[in-house]
């Protein structure tokens, strides 16, 4: 083997075996451009080489599914000829290196994935993980990421309506930025990424190509170390204004019958878009790189093919429609150029300066991409889980514990974050951020849409299988609390280095749990993304299979809300009272322990609870419904008080525990499958019987009050004090008080 | 009456306004493209929120030079009613149809939140159905809403009763904590000397339907009908 070539291949992140395979496919040595193309197409990020065999086990079918995995986004049917196109994607590595642009371009990329299908984006969500709040980089990263998401989404005029923020030291050197977009689409106007029809013109539209982001996909397929910050030039720079024009121009073109296929130029830019479009259609493409609009002179073929400049699309138009397409893009002041033709022989031919500079067979390159069944080995979970809880100090004052909990980084109000996101533009947001899920109306339809994202990273660290199941169950429960029937899932699987058997085991276990929960709750996975190598200096993040879920409300007027409505309403908990303290936020906040057993989850019981609550919504019986999860019952009670407008109090009584851990479990234990509800006093007489008839355990806790937050016999505080601590938590953490 | 909503590249509240004007209030409404020079005989023109031309250089600075704005200036000078919302306010100050400037929020952050806005004057085409002194809850969503004008200009605005909207707190006072962006005198919106050009930072179109939690903002558009 040519030593120079091998050296180059290794530098590009390819293995020796992979280079051998390339030599076999081509029957010759690849040139520099061709090797670069192979390396990005076979990068973990683009080829899913370590994850694919596991992902195949996920459920992807259902009567609601119109488009499953494999396209730019998944699509579900919401009735009356309309659907939702949605997907979640990670932008972890770039966001750590350059938080504002990394997060902004993450939003830009996922938006393009959705509108390239023909959908108008109607909502953005994001799921963020940062390091410990006292880590010196954390405030900088939080400020940058939130501002980047805001900067892009606000300018695009797409509301950012929901998400999550979680802090833990396992993310100190590798944050997670997962962005999700939901779009509204006519089911008879779906566009796909296909380069069909020999002779059809291939068009390049959008921003010009620059030298930014070259090898971004390769960067996202390796571990981080001290030198990573030198990779800043591989992070792309976003231009939301151009993307807004691109959105409007694409949707205008799509009103006509001019297009055969369309695809976003995301990771690996022109390379992945052209190869994937040709691969899906079994065709070939001939491209003249001299026609590519470029930002600077003297760009090589390699730079053009590997650039990840943002806000670009590749289109295949019907022959003869080129001029019409170009006219529309010009109306929006965007470049649109015919750069090639669809060919029939299954080859990609790249021309520059009149010569062929690259010639690659598409099918072998895409379909013969390596697939690995990497070795798996369970880590020492007993060690992870063990803790010496019984000897911990008994808190003397549960009032202080409650205040510490609601003011803690993972439980305090997220208003500091979502206040920076325009969450109302498009005038569809019925239920604003801050509750269990956001609810959107759809103009002209009776139906509404609910969206949420969830994952408890700590659970997944202690038990990836159960943790992933919880993520799905909690996402569905959130939608149900908002009154929506869960429809389908997009997943964003964030893990460490798959070449480590422990990490690969975590991944496989999480996918197994994810599949099982999605099957039980009838929410198939229709799109997703995998982000591996989330390690810095050999330290892996907590495994985080983020779940994005969409649901439909048959009547948007009948949506639920998480906040209490009026003093005097009766408060019940549906599901078990009490529950384990293992893996809880309580252990982490009060005792700085990430340990114990993740709460058990019975999916049949979960489904029954969710169906019961949906029935209550349909009958209009619920004043409020709120998922009981992180922080347990006491925190859920506080949240239902604090998200009322204006805040209300509550007076409830819990059974008296005796030993310390019994009390802690009652107040802050995180047993699964629980929903806190309130009903009008006039409806309370029959409520217990309704639950009993459905086989749902139900405990009457007390009533909504006005001024006091009372969980007798342990907690009694003025709600104003609880509100103050909860509301100012984020500013306090980031020390950004105005 | 036929009303026009201007569409700049980067406008993003144009559809929202069009929906409220047409579907909720019941005007005949049309979009007016920034490259055109025809107001299509509209009886009123609305300049929507968004990020016209990306808000590059300075918010609204490029939009003022667009062909359609030349026509809007003529229309305004002839007494035609013009309403600017959010980015529309910024564009109207850049066009010198309204005095003052909108600076970056004092928090240096974008702010999206509900505010209380007191209507100070009923003497404009967009507030004539609102009793002066009444308070409307309307959301803001902007990074540059911090209104500023020199002392003399402020005196003139106040003296001529041209401060049309002010941020107030739950007690109706123009307190500092009610002010989302640091604007001078809690000013949320103003009008020109002839009172036909009005602009505000809050978004009445986002609170014009009950399903969105409130329909209090609808009265701003209905005021046009009353004329």
DSSP calls for A590-605: HH----SPPPP--HHH
Buried b (16+ CB within 10 A) or exposed e, B137-167: ebbbbbbbbbbebeeeebeebeeeebbbbbb
Interface test with A, best of B35, B109, B140 (most A CBs within 10 A): B109
Residue A724 pLDDT exceeds 90: yes
CB atoms under 10 Å from CB of A373, counted, come to: 11
DSSP state of A643: T
Is the backbone of residue A30 left (phi > 0), alpha (psi -120 to 50) or beta? Answer: beta
Question: What is the Cα–Cα distance from A290 to A353, expressed in whole angstroms?
Answer: 7
Query: Which of B217, B223, B224 has its CA nearest to residue B202?
Result: B217
Weakest mean pLDDT among A243-247, A368-372, B168-172, B187-191: A368-372
Q: What does the pLDDT look like over A19-59, one tens digit per residue?
A: 999 999 999 999 999 999 999 999 888 889 999 999 999 99
Is B141 in contact with A419 (Cβ distance < 8 A)?
no
Query: Which of A702, A705, A736, A707 has its CA nearest to residue A721?
Result: A707
Radius of gyration of chain A (CA): 26
Contacts of B140 in chain A (CB under 8 A): none
Q: Which of B10, B49, B111 sits opposite A241 (nearest CB)?
A: B10
Is B51 in contact with A155 (Cβ distance < 8 A)?
yes
Question: What is the Cα–Cα distance from A558 to A614, expressed in whole angstroms?
Answer: 10
Percent pLDDT > 90 in chain A is: 85
Question: What is the Cα–Cα distance from A727 to A633, expressed in whole angstroms?
Answer: 19
Is B12 in contact with A738 (Cβ distance < 8 A)?
no
The pLDDT of residue A395 is 77
Q: For residue A355, what are its two tokens?
A: 């010569």
Question: What is the Cα–Cα distance from B217 to B22, expressed in whole angstroms?
Answer: 15
Q: What DSSP assignment string belongs to A354-379?
A: TEEEEEEEHHHHHHTS----------
Asked if A164 contacts A78 with a C-beta cutoff of 8 angstroms, the reply is no
Question: What is the Cα–Cα distance from A603 to A615, expressed in whole angstroms?
Answer: 18
Is B212 in contact with A429 (Cβ distance < 8 A)?
yes
3-state secondary structure of A345: coil
The pLDDT of residue A219 is 62
* Residues near A592 by beta carbon (within 8 Å), at least 6 away in sequence: none
What mean pLDDT value characterizes chain A? 93
The CA distance from B213 to the nearest CA of chain A, in Å, is 7
Contacts of B213 in chain A (CB under 8 A): 430
Is B212 in contact with A150 (Cβ distance < 8 A)?
no
In degrees, rounded to 5, the angle at the alpha carbon of residue A44 between the alpha carbons of residues A295 and A494 is 100
Q: Which of A45, A54, A423, A470 is catalytic?
A: A45
Query: Which residue's structure tokens are 């290794």?
Result: A10
Q: pLDDT category, A737, cuts 50, 70, 90?
A: very low
The pLDDT of residue A578 is 77
Q: Which of A150, A245, A427 sits opposite B212 (nearest CB)?
A: A427
Is B113 in contact with A244 (Cβ distance < 8 A)?
no
Q: What does the pLDDT look like over A442-501, one tens digit per residue?
A: 999 999 999 999 999 999 999 999 999 999 999 999 999 999 999 999 999 999 999 999
Residue A738 pLDDT exceeds 50: no
In chain B, the domains with their CATH numbers are 2-225 (3.40.50.880)
The pLDDT of residue A367 is 82
3-state secondary structure of A416: helix
Which secondary structure element, helix H or strand E, spans residue A37, and what is its range?
helix A32-41
Query: Which residue's structure tokens are 């496989």?
Result: A508
| Cis omega (within 30 of 0) for bond into A682 | no
Chain B residues interacting with chain A (CB cutoff of 8 angstroms) = 9-10, 12-13, 15-16, 19-20, 23, 49-51, 53-56, 106-107, 109-113, 139, 141, 143, 203, 205-206, 208-209, 211-213
The CA distance from B35 to the nearest CA of chain A, in Å, is 9
Contacts of B12 in chain A (CB under 8 A): 155-157, 244, 425
Q: For residue B12, what are its two tokens?
A: 């993003």
Instruction: Output the CA torsion sign for A592, A594, A600, A604.
Output: positive
Q: Which of A54, A91, A93, A723 is catalytic?
A: A91
Q: For residue A14, what are its two tokens?
A: 């390819």
3-state secondary structure of A689: helix
Please report, in tens digits, the pLDDT of each residue of chain B (227 residues total): 999 999 999 999 999 999 999 999 999 999 999 999 999 999 999 999 999 999 988 898 999 999 999 999 999 999 999 999 999 999 999 999 999 999 999 999 999 999 999 999 999 999 999 999 999 999 999 999 999 999 999 999 999 999 999 999 999 999 999 999 999 999 999 999 999 999 999 999 999 999 999 999 999 999 998 76
Q: pLDDT category, A226, cuts 50, 70, 90?
A: low
The CA distance from A394 to the nearest CA of chain B, in Å, is 41
Is A422 in contact with B23 (Cβ distance < 8 A)?
no
- Chain centroid to Cα A582, Å, comes to 26
Contacts of B139 in chain A (CB under 8 A): 424
Instruction: Output the CA torsion sign for A676, A682, A688, A689.
Output: negative
Is B13 in contact with A157 (Cβ distance < 8 A)?
yes
Asked if A512 contacts A436 with a C-beta cutoff of 8 angstroms, the reply is no
The pLDDT of residue B79 is 97
Q: What pTM, to 2 d.p., does this model score? A: 0.96
The CA distance from A212 to the nearest CA of chain B, in Å, is 21
Is B112 in contact with A424 (Cβ distance < 8 A)?
yes
Question: What integer is the mean pLDDT of A254-275?
Answer: 93
Query: Which of B213, B51, B191, B221 has its CA nearest to residue B139?
Result: B213
Question: What is the Cα–Cα distance from A572 to A562, expressed in whole angstroms?
Answer: 13
Interface test with A, best of B5, B8, B12 (most A CBs within 10 A): B12
How many angstroms separate the Cα of B62 from the Cα of each of A311, B54, B66, B98?
22, 9, 7, 16
Question: What is the Cα–Cα distance from A31 to A25, expressed in whole angstroms?
Answer: 14
Question: What is the Cα–Cα distance from B153 to A210, expressed in whole angstroms?
Answer: 47
Residue A165 pLDDT exceeds 70: yes
Nearest chain A residue (CA) to B86: A425
Chain A residues interacting with chain B (CB cutoff of 8 angstroms) = 147, 150-151, 154-157, 239-242, 244-245, 332-333, 418-427, 429-430, 441, 443, 556-557, 738
- E strands in B43-145: 44-47, 82-85, 101-103, 111-119, 135-142
Is A241 in contact with B54 (Cβ distance < 8 A)?
yes
Query: Which of A547, A542, A370 has its CA nearest to residue A451?
Result: A547
Q: Is B86 considered catalytic here?
A: yes
The CA distance from B203 to the nearest CA of chain A, in Å, is 9
Question: What is the Cα–Cα distance from A455 to A586, expressed in whole angstroms?
Answer: 17
Question: What is the Cα–Cα distance from A127 to A680, expressed in whole angstroms?
Answer: 35
Nearest chain A residue (CA) to B140: A422
The pLDDT of residue B57 is 85
Percent pLDDT > 70 in chain A is: 96
Contacts of B203 in chain A (CB under 8 A): 424
Is A157 in contact with B50 (Cβ distance < 8 A)?
yes
Nearest chain B residue (CA) to A143: B109
The pLDDT of residue A691 is 97
Q: What DSSP assignment string belongs to A78-140?
A: EETTEEEEEEEEE-HHHHHHSHHHHHHHHHHHHHHHHHTTTPEEEEEEEEEEE--TTSTTHHH
Q: H helices within A338-463, ranges in order?
A: 362-367, 381-385, 398-406, 415-418, 457-462
Q: Which of A332, A423, A426 sits opposite B9 (nearest CB)?
A: A332
Question: What is the Cα–Cα distance from A671 to A585, expressed in whole angstroms?
Answer: 12
* Residues near A387 by beta carbon (within 8 Å), at least 6 away in sequence: A587, A593, A595, A596
Q: For residue B132, what are its two tokens?
A: 């002066």
Asked if B20 contacts B221 with a C-beta cutoff of 8 angstroms, the reply is yes
The pLDDT of residue A174 is 95
Nearest chain A residue (CA) to B112: A419
Asked if A49 contacts A533 with a C-beta cutoff of 8 angstroms, the reply is no
Is B203 in contact with A424 (Cβ distance < 8 A)?
yes
Buried b (16+ CB within 10 A) or exposed e, A481-511: bbbbbbbbbbbbbbbbbbebebbbbbbbbbb
Question: What is the Cα–Cα distance from A692 to A673, expressed in whole angstroms?
Answer: 16
Is A425 in contact with B12 (Cβ distance < 8 A)?
yes
* Residues near A693 by beta carbon (within 8 Å), at least 6 away in sequence: none
A–B CB contacts, 8 A cutoff, strictly below = 88
- Chain centroid to Cα A107, Å, comes to 11
In the structure, how many helices (H) and strands (E) does chain A have? 27, 28
Asked if A427 contacts B209 with a C-beta cutoff of 8 angstroms, the reply is yes
Contacts of B205 in chain A (CB under 8 A): 427
Q: For residue A521, what are its two tokens?
A: 């709750």
Q: Is B191 considered catalytic here?
A: no
In chain B, the largest separation of any two C-alpha atoms, in whole Å, equals 46
Instruction: Output the CA torsion sign for A300, A305, A311, A312.
Output: positive
The pLDDT of residue A228 is 60
Query: Which of B126, B124, B72 has its CA nearest to residue B95?
Result: B72
Is A419 in contact with B113 (Cβ distance < 8 A)?
yes
Asked if B126 contacts B83 with a C-beta cutoff of 8 angstroms, the reply is yes
Nearest chain B residue (CA) to A249: B9
Is the backbone of residue B197 left (phi > 0), alpha (psi -120 to 50) or beta? Answer: beta
Residue A15 pLDDT exceeds 60: yes
Asked if A519 contacts A392 with a C-beta cutoff of 8 angstroms, the reply is no
- Chain centroid to Cα B145, Å, comes to 11
Question: What is the Cα–Cα distance from A306 to A301, expressed in whole angstroms?
Answer: 9
Q: Which of A156, A242, A422 sits opposite B141 (nearest CB)?
A: A422
Is B110 in contact with A420 (Cβ distance < 8 A)?
yes
Asked if A239 contacts A233 with a C-beta cutoff of 8 angstroms, the reply is no
Contacts of A738 in chain B (CB under 8 A): 106-107
Q: Which of B13, B71, B191, B203 is catalytic?
A: B203
Nearest chain B residue (CA) to A157: B12
Is B10 in contact with A244 (Cβ distance < 8 A)?
yes
């Amino acid at each position: 083997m040519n030593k120079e070539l091998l050296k180059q291949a290794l530098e590009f992140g390819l293995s020796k075996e992979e280079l051998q395979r390339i030599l076999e496919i081509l029957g010759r040595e690849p040139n520099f451009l061709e090797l670069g193309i192979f390396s990005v197409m076979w990068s973990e990020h683009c080829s899913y080489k370590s994850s694919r065999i596991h992902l195949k086990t996920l459920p992807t079918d259902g009567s609601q599914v119109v488009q499953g995995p494999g396209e730019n986004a998944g699509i579900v049917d919401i009735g009356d000829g309309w659907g939702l196109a949605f997907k979640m994607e990670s932008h972890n590595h770039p966001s750590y290196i350059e938080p504002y642009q990394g997060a902004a371009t993450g939003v830009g990329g996922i938006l393009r994935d959705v509108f390239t299908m023909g959908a108008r984006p109607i909502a953005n969500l994001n799921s963020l993980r940062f390091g410990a709040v006292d880590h010196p980089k954390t405030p900088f990263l939080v400020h940058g990421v939130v501002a980047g998401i805001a900067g892009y989404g606000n300018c695009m005029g797409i509301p950012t309506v929901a998400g999550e923020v979680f802090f833990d030291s396992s993310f100190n050197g590798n944050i997670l930025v997962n962005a999700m977009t939901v779009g509204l689409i006519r089911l008879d106007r779906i566009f796909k990424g296909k380069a069909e029809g020999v002779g059809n013109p291939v068009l390049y539209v959008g921003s010009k190509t620059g030298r930014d982001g070259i090898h971004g996909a390769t960067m996202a397929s390796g571990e981080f170390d001290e030198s990573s910050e030198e990779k800043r030039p591989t992070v792309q720079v976003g231009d939301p204004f151009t993307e807004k024009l691109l959105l409007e121009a694409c949707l205008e073109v799509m009103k006509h019958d001019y297009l055969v296929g369309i695809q976003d130029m995301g990771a690996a830019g022109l390379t992945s878009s052209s190869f994937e479009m040709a691969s899906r259609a079994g065709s070939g493409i001939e491209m003249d790189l001299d026609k590519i609009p470029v930002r600077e002179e003297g760009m090589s073929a390699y730079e053009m093919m590997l650039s990840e400049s943002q806000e670009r699309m590749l289109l295949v138009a019907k022959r003869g429609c080129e001029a019409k397409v170009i006219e529309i893009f010009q109306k929006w002041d965007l470049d649109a150029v015919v750069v090639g033709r669809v060919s029939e022989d299954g080859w990609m031919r790249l021309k520059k300066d009149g010569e062929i500079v690259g010639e690659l067979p598409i099918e072998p390159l895409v379909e013969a991409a390596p697939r690995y069944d990497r070795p798996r080995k369970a880590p020492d979970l007993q060690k992870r889980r063990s803790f010496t809880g019984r000897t911990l100090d008994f808190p003397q004052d549960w009032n202080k514990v409650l205040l510490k909990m609601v003011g803690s980084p993972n439980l305090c109000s997220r208003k500091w974050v979502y206040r920076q996101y325009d969450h109302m533009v498009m005038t569809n947001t019925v239920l604003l951020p801050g509750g269990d899920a956001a609810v959107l109306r759809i103009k002209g339809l009776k139906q509404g849409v609910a969206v949420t994202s969830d994952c408890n990273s700590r659970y997944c660290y202690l038990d990836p299988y159960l943790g992933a199941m919880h993520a799905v169950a909690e996402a569905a429960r959130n939608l149900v609390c908002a009154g929506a029937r869960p429809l389908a899932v997009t997943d964003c699987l964030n893990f460490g280095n798959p070449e480590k058997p422990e990490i690969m085991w975590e991944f496989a276990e999480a996918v197994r749990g994810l599949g099982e929960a999605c099957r039980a709750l009838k929410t198939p996975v229709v799109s997703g993304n995998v982000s591996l190598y989330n390690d810095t200096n050999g330290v892996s993040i907590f495994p985080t299979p983020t779940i994005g879920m969409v649901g439909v409300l048959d009547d948007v007027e009948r949506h639920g809300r998480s906040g209490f409505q009026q003093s005097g309403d009766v408060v019940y908990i549906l599901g078990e009272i009490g529950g384990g303290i293992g893996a809880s936020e309580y252990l982490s906040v009060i005792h700085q322990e990430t340990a114990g057993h993740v709460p058990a989850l019975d999916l049949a019981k979960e489904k029954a609870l969710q169906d019961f609550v949906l029935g209550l919504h349909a009958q209009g019986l619920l004043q409020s419904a709120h998922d009981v999860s992180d922080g347990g019952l006491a925190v859920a009670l506080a949240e239902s008080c604090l998200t009322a407008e204006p805040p209300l109090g509550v007076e409830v009584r819990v059974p008296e525990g005796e030993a310390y851990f019994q009390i802690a479990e009652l107040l802050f234990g995180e047993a699964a499958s629980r929903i806190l509800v309130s009903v009008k006093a006039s409806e309370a007489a029959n409520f217990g019987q309704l639950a009993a008839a459905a086989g749902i355990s139900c405990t009457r806790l007390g009533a909504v009050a006005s001024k006091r937050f009372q969980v007798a016999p342990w907690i009694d505080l003025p709600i104003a004090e609880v509100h103050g601590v909860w509301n100012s938590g984020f500013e306090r953490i980031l020390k950004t008080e105005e | 009456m036929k009303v026009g909503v201007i569409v700049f590249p980067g406008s993003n509240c144009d559809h929202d306004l069009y929906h409220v004007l047409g579907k909720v209030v019941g005007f005949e409404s049309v979009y007016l493209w920034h490259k055109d020079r025809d107001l299509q005989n509209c009886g009123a023109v609305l300049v929507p929120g968004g990020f016209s031309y990306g808000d590059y250089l300075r918010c609204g600075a490029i939009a003022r030079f667009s062909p359609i704005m030349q026509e809007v200036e003529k229309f305004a000078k002839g007494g035609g009613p013009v309403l600017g919302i959010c980015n529309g306010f910024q564009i109207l100050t850049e066009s010198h149809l309204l005095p003052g400037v909108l600076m970056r929020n004092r928090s240096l952050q974008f702010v999206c939140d509900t505010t209380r806005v007191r209507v100070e004057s009923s003497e404009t085409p967009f507030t004539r159905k609102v009793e002066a002194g009444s308070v409307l809850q309307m959301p803001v969503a902007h990074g540059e809403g911090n209104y500023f004008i020199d002392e003399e200009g402020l005196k003139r605005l106040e003296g001529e009763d041209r401060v049309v909207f002010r941020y107030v707190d739950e007690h109706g006072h123009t307190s500092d904590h009610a002010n989302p962006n640091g604007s001078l005198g809690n000013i949320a919106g103003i009008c020109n000397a002839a009172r036909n050009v009005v602009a505000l930072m809050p978004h009445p179109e986002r609170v014009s339907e009950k399903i969105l939690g409130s329909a209090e903002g609808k009265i701003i558009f209905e005021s046009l009908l009353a004329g």
